[in-house]
Amino acid sequence: MRRTRVNDTLQSQAPMSSVLVKGWVRTRRDAKGFSFIELNDGSCLQNLQVIVDDDSDASASVKQVNTGAAVEVEGELVASPGKGQQWELRASRVAILGGADPETYPLQKKRHTDEFLRTIAHLRPRTNKYGALFRIRSESAFAVHQFFRDRGFYYLHTPIITGSDCEGAGEMFRVTTLPASGPPAAANETLYDADFFGKEANLTVSGQLEAELFASALGSVYTFGPTFRAENSNTPRHAAEFWMIEPEVAFADLDDNMDLAEDFVKHLVNHVREHCAADLDLFGRFVDKNLMANLEVIAGKPYVRLPYTEAVEILQKAKKDFEFPVAYGIDLQTEHERFLTEEHFKCPVIVYNYPQEIKPFYMRFNDDGKTVAAMDLLVPRVGELIGGSQREERLDVLERRIEESGMDTADYWWYLDMRRFGTVPHAGFGLGFERFLMMATGVANIRDVIPFPRTPRNLEF
């Protein structure tokens, strides 16, 4: 007999006279004359209730079954007289596939802290919360691909190992095949001679520059891949390895970019609400009571679009004791971003046209001679969810900006070629996938939305 997934039994339109399910025991309870098993196979949040009569053949096995054990159960799917489920399985056979010693199995039926569960990241997807979380992560990723494909974008795999540094700065991991004890030669000229690539190699911090190249050929592209920051900071919002989505669109300006960002976020939120209702509900009940109301605002309301100058004025007038004082020219801190979106506007806010001094060289220089066509999309609780810009498409301006940033235009010959040959206005942005998941679920620590998070001095599993 072929196995039926628990989700399919629960969604069944009719009783099933004979069904085989396989999964893990969440709990076993013995009552007078029969036992209950709550069986989960990961296909959905809800368990299948299995009833084993004491006088059935299955009874002997079931008494040895503990939380965490893997079993297969054959039986009849019947309407459940109990509350909370439409169907239950009356077992005719229970076989133990793999036991779980109650003395040593860490996931007993009780509430565990997120901190403890991080130490057993290999087992935490077996809990309700993390099972739900990683199903939502999976479905959100699909929503990303669907959104862009429906709009004629092409998915692009930009390189992970890179010889360039997109931001013109930033902490990067180095990639090498040289022994950890140092290179064979001492002279600096030959530092990388024996290395795999014959030059310094790093892990990418962004696929944007390469995405721009492809946007100049395929029109609209997006990346969705891992990016890296070697920042030695232990905060709930930073990980050394995270996934980023970066669309890049030829023939688009800053307004188009803001439209795309707003549509994208709304699409993702609506997709998760529609396709992950049961899993999302868990977070609304146990993690953040305001979650559903917040998501309704994010999916429903038009986003405020606010020039940086006006954002600074609002912050300066605010009766709020900021840790970082506000003045024109500062980079907005999370406390400022959250004030704008959570307290002042109470909805997502797109701040645009930032002073050029605080933004990277590739952002398009505005005619005011002071600002660049940057935009950041701020959402409640998370702060910056998206950062993007219209890109500088004018060769002479871009060359000047690269030089002013203290970099060498020769290193960017290929990036500049794009402006030499058939240059077009274009724009794009980056969305941190984990930031989105934190917003969508109310989870406060980035370590809890990544299967196996990487942070300073943390490389287990």
| Binding of a copy of itself by 99 (CB under 8 A) | yes
Residues 414-443 that bind a copy of itself (CB under 8 A): 414-415, 417-425
Rounded Cα gap, residues 165 and 203, in angstroms: 9
Q: Measured from the CB atom, is 142 or 322 closer to a copy of itself? A: 142
How large is the C-alpha radius of gyration of the chain? 27
Least distance to a copy of itself from the beta carbon of 422, Å?
A: 4
Residues 363-422 that bind a copy of itself (CB under 8 A): 393, 414-415, 417-422
CA dihedral 225, 231, 237, 242 (to 10 degrees): 10
Q: Measured from the CB atom, is 81 or 98 closer to a copy of itself? A: 98
Ramachandran angles phi, psi of 95, nearest 5°: -120, 135
Stretch that binds a copy of itself, among 55-63, 197-205, 277-285, 354-362 (CB under 8 A): 197-205
Stretch that binds a copy of itself, among 223-231, 261-269, 353-361, 365-373 (CB under 8 A): 223-231
Query: Among 70, 299, 314, 444, which residue sits at the site for a copy of itself (rule: CB under 8 A)?
Result: 70
How many residues interact with a copy of itself (rule CB under 8 A)? 109
> DSSP characters for 56-93?
STTHHHHTT--TT-EEEEEEEEEE--STT-SEEEEEEE
Least distance to a copy of itself from the beta carbon of 343, Å?
A: 34
Residues 272-291 that bind a copy of itself (CB under 8 A): none
**Token couple for 113:** 């802290």
Ramachandran angles phi, psi of 254, nearest 5°: -65, -40
Are 202 and 169 in contact, with CB atoms under 8 Å apart?
A: no
Query: Among 55, 104, 367, 406, which residue sits at the site for a copy of itself (rule: CB under 8 A)?
Result: 104
- Among 286, 219, 273, 287, CA closest to 247: 219
Residues 442-461 that bind a copy of itself (CB under 8 A): 450-452, 454, 456-461
Q: Which residues contact 272 (CB under 8 A, 6 or more apart)?
A: 136, 139, 140, 143, 280, 440
Query: Among 32, 181, 189, 406, which residue sits at the site for a copy of itself (rule: CB under 8 A)?
Result: 181
Any idea which residue has 């939305």 for tokens? Answer: 449
Stretch that binds a copy of itself, among 3-11, 45-53, 348-356, 402-410 (CB under 8 A): 3-11
| Binding of a copy of itself by 324 (CB under 8 A) | no
Query: Among 116, 251, 324, 328, which residue sits at the site for a copy of itself (rule: CB under 8 A)?
Result: 251
Q: What is the CB-side half-sphere exposure of residue 127 using CA atoms within 13 A?
A: 23
| Binding of a copy of itself by 116 (CB under 8 A) | no
Rounded Cα gap, residues 372 and 3, in angstroms: 58
Q: Measured from the CB atom, is 339 or 415 closer to a copy of itself? A: 415
Least distance to a copy of itself from the beta carbon of 55, Å?
A: 27
Q: Measured from the CB atom, is 230 or 304 closer to a copy of itself? A: 230
Are 284 and 290 in contact, with CB atoms under 8 Å apart?
A: no
Residue type (1 letter), 8: D
Are 9 and 77 in contact, with CB atoms under 8 Å apart?
A: yes
Query: Among 82, 84, 198, 325, which residue sits at the site for a copy of itself (rule: CB under 8 A)?
Result: 198
Q: Measured from the CB atom, is 160 or 314 closer to a copy of itself? A: 160
